[in-house]
Amino acid sequence: QVQLVESGGGLVQAGGSLSVSCVASGTIFRDNPMGWWRQAPGKQRELVAVIASDTGTNYADSVKGRFTISRDNAKNTVYLQMNSLKPEDTAVYYCYYRKALSTYWGQGTQVTVSS
């Protein structure tokens, strides 16, 4: 069983920075993808960034150049550094980890960007 616990997030003004992190417990493999999705009110959940040892990193077009995902495999932790935040980045951010046919989710952390 895998459990994901997020931390970070909060309220920031447009143009500011925030970071979120996610610690995974259980059997975690570095080649399995780990990353972040987000869901804004009234919108579908969307992939923000993903990282895996064999495939590298991938970002949504809307966050490229502003967000950076990183991973510490020794700590089973994934980070998301968010810079130049925009009001449209406001959402609940969910950590996820995928192993075989199973996807595990964190409880979500709120990121609010004020204009």
Residue of 41, 22, 49, 21 whose CA lies nearest to 91: 41
5-23 confidence digits (pLDDT tens): 999 999 999 999 999 999 9
- Rounded distance between C-alpha atoms, residue 83 and residue 73, angstroms: 23
Structure token digits, residue 113: 């960007």
Q: Is 17 exposed, middle or buried (0-12, 13-18, 19+ CB in 10 A)?
A: exposed
Per residue in 46-95, pLDDT tens?
A: 999 999 988 899 999 999 999 999 999 999 999 999 999 999 999 999 99
Distance CA 34, CA 48 (A): 11
